[in-house]
C-alpha cells in the first residue's frame, strides 16, 4: 500500500469517528441546557388526580397541589429553575412532550413498556394498585371480576386503566371519559356500575362520597404500573438529574410523606 493511501484511509477513519462522537442520531443532548437557558421547567399534568395533583384554593387563589407537584418543585430546585405547571387532559399529557409544549410530565404516569418505547422515564417513585369503585348499596353484587359482565365500567381516557378493565373485567362494557370527576358522577347517577382507578385516588373519592365503596375484587397489577417522570426520548442528561432527585426523595421517605399529606388535605376539603 502506498503511503498516501494509508494517510487517506486514516483521515477517513478519523472523520467517521468524529461524526459518531457527535451524539447518536447526530443530535446533541441539550435536555438540561435548554431548560437552564429558559430558566423555567414546564411540567405537564392532569390535575384531577388527588393526592398526586389536584386543584385547591390557597389564600383564595386556585392552586395545583399534591405529591407530584412537590416532586416537580424538587426537580426545579435541582436544576436551579422556576417550575411552571401546564394543565391538560390526561390523554394529552404524554403527547405534550413530543410537541415540545412541556419539558417533563409528572401525572401519576405508569411507565409501561409501550410508553418506554416513545419516552424516557425516570426511576419509578410509586407502586400502584388498581381497584374498582362501585355504589355502596350494590357492594355485595361485586365479588368477582366477571360480576361486571354486560355492565358499564368507566376508565380515564388514555390511562392504563382502559386496558386493565378491558383485560380483567370479563365482558364489561368500557366507557372512556376524559375527567375522573365525570366518571364518579356517572357512577353515582347509575350511568355506569364501576370505575377503575388506582387505590389512593379511589380511596379519596370514597372518603368524600358516602354512597361509594371499593369492591372486594383484586385486580392484577404489574411492575410496569409504577409511576415515573416522563421525558422526551434522548433526555439522558435530564434523566440523570431527575433520577438523583427521585432517589433522594424515596430514600428519605419524602414521597410517602407527600402522598399522605396531600391525601389528608384532599379529603378534608369539600367536593369541588
Residues in touch with ligand ARG (CB under 6 A): 46, 49, 53, 90, 107-110, 128, 156, 159-160, 198
- For ligand ARG, the closer CB: 198 or 203: 198
Q: Which three cell numbers stand for residue 95?
A: 403527547
Q: Each residue of 191-210: b (16+ CB within 10 Å) or e?
A: ebbbbbbbebbbbbbbebbe
- For ligand ARG, the closer CB: 32 or 162: 162
CB 57 to ligand ARG: min, Å? 20
- For ligand ARG, the closer CB: 90 or 119: 90
Can you list the positions of beta strands (E) in 88-245? Answer: 104-105, 119-126, 130-135, 152-156, 173-177, 194-198, 212-214, 227-232
CB 197 to ligand ARG: min, Å? 8
Closest CA to 146 of 217, 220, 222: 217
Are β-strands 40-45 and 82-87 bridged in parallel, bridged antiparallel, or unpaired?
A: parallel
CB 28 to ligand ARG: min, Å? 30
Q: Which three cell numbers stand for residue 208?
A: 368524600
CB 106 to ligand ARG: min, Å? 9
- For ligand ARG, the closer CB: 55 or 244: 55
Amino acid at each position: 500500500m502506498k503511503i498516501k493511501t494509508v494517510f487517506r484511509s486514516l483521515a477517513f477513519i478519523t472523520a467517521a469517528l468524529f461524526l459518531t462522537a457527535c451524539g447518536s442520531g447526530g443530535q446533541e443532548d441539550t435536555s438540561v441546557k435548554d431548560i437552564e437557558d429558559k430558566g423555567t421547567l414546564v411540567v405537564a399534568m392532569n390535575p384531577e388526580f388527588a393526592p398526586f395533583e389536584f386543584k385547591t384554593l390557597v389564600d383564595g387563589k386556585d392552586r395545583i397541589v399534591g405529591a407530584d407537584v412537590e416532586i416537580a418543585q424538587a426537580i426545579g430546585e435541582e436544576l436551579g429553575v422556576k417550575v411552571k405547571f401546564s394543565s391538560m387532559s390526561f390523554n394529552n399529557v404524554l403527547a405534550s412532550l413530543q410537541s415540545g409544549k412541556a419539558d417533563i410530565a409528572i401525572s401519576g404516569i405508569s411507565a409501561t413498556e409501550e410508553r418506554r418505547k416513545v419516552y424516557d422515564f425516570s426511576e419509578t417513585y410509586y407502586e400502584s394498585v388498581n381497584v374498582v369503585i362501585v355504589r355502596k348499596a350494590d357492594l355485595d353484587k361485586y365479588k368477582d371480576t366477571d360480576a361486571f359482565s354486560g355492565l358499564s365500567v368507566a376508565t380515564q381516557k388514555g390511562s392504563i386503566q382502559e386496558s386493565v378493565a378491558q383485560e380483567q373485567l370479563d365482558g364489561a362494557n368500557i366507557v372512556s371519559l376524559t375527567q375522573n370527576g365525570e366518571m364518579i358522577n356517572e357512577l353515582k347517577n347509575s350511568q355506569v356500575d364501576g370505575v377503575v382507578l388506582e387505590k389512593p385516588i379511589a380511596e379519596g373519592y370514597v372518603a368524600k362520597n358516602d354512597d361509594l365503596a371499593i369492591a372486594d375484587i383484586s385486580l392484577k397489577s404489574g411492575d410496569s404500573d409504577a409511576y415515573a417522570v416522563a421525558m422526551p426520548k434522548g433526555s439522558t442528561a435530564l434523566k440523570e438529574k431527575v433520577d438523583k432527585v427521585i432517589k433522594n426523595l424515596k430514600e428519605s421517605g419524602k414521597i410517602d410523606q407527600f402522598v399522605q399529606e396531600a391525601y389528608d388535605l384532599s379529603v378534608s376539603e369539600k367536593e369541588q
